[in-house]
Chain A
Amino acid sequence: KAGVTQTPRYLIKTRGQQVTLSCSPISGHRSVSWYQQTPGQGLQFLFEYFSETQRNKGNFPGRFSGRQFSNSRSEMNVSTLELGDSALYLCASSVAGQETQYFGPGTRLLVL
């Protein structure tokens, strides 16, 4: 099976812009989770989607949002970008959300 794919792999934006990141889970996986990784805060959970519904959410401001489509692909959006949003954004998929998670390679976002 193909692994989790994330696009784009690298992205440069400026403050105030918005960005959309995409994640395609492993075939058959219906749960998609998103994480932010920074040198200072480490890996932090953003949110989880299952069957197009957000079931769990981390402690991030409302500028961070996501959605999931009927084919389980997911997107996350960050509006009004801030310098502190520069990070590696990781997507992980699992069958139903409570099992082993499989991570993609991440999208590295740089905000200037």
Chain B
Amino acid sequence: DAKTTQPNSMESNEEEPVHLPCNHSTISGTDYIHWYRQLPSQGPEYVIHGLTSNVNNRMASLAIAEDRKSSTLILHRATLRDAAVYYCILRESGGTSYGKLTFGQGTILTVHP
């Protein structure tokens, strides 16, 4: 599995935007970039995913570099409920990695009131 690199931790203030970076220099052309987050005492939760173009949904935006070797998850206005561990994961499209998500250590996001 291609590897991702994320900062161990980041901090933000409530209602400010948060940019969570992820490096994936060995990404292949068929790898999708997925983000999941895990709130305290809960299972991981899907946030967003993309292949080449930037993506937006109700939770966040995903900005993908032109060479696809890095991406940034953007939370437009952080709330206390966004405090979680954020995981950047590469998933091969059409491969045989059924059901398998390869989690790294993720980024612990702390949101201050």
Residues of A within 8 A of B (CB): 4, 31-33, 35, 42-45, 47-50, 55-56, 58, 90, 92, 94, 97-98, 100-106
Contacts and interface: CB of A to CB of B under 8 A. Distances in A.
Nearest to A102: B46
A43 B99 contact: no
Contacts of A92: 43-44, 99, 101
Given A98-B95, A100-B46, 12 more contacts: A33-B99, A35-B103, A42-B105, A43-B87, A45-B101, A49-B99, A90-B44, A97-B98, A101-B99, A104-B43, A105-B42, A106-B42
Main secondary structure of the interface of A (DSSP, over half): strand
B100 A48 contact: yes
B45 interface: yes
Given A42-B104, A100-B49, A94 B44 contact: no
Q: How big is the B interface, by class? A: 20 to 34
A98 to B, nearest CB: 7
A93 B87 CA distance: 18
A47 B97 CA distance: 10
Contacts of B97: 56, 98
A104 B38 CA distance: 11
Closest 5 CB pairs of A and B: A48-B99, A103-B43, A33-B99, A97-B98, A43-B103
A55 B105 contact: no
B43 A105 contact: yes
A106 to B, nearest CB: 5
A55 B106 CA distance: 27
Contacts of A102: 46
Contacts of B93: 98
A97 to B, nearest CB: 4
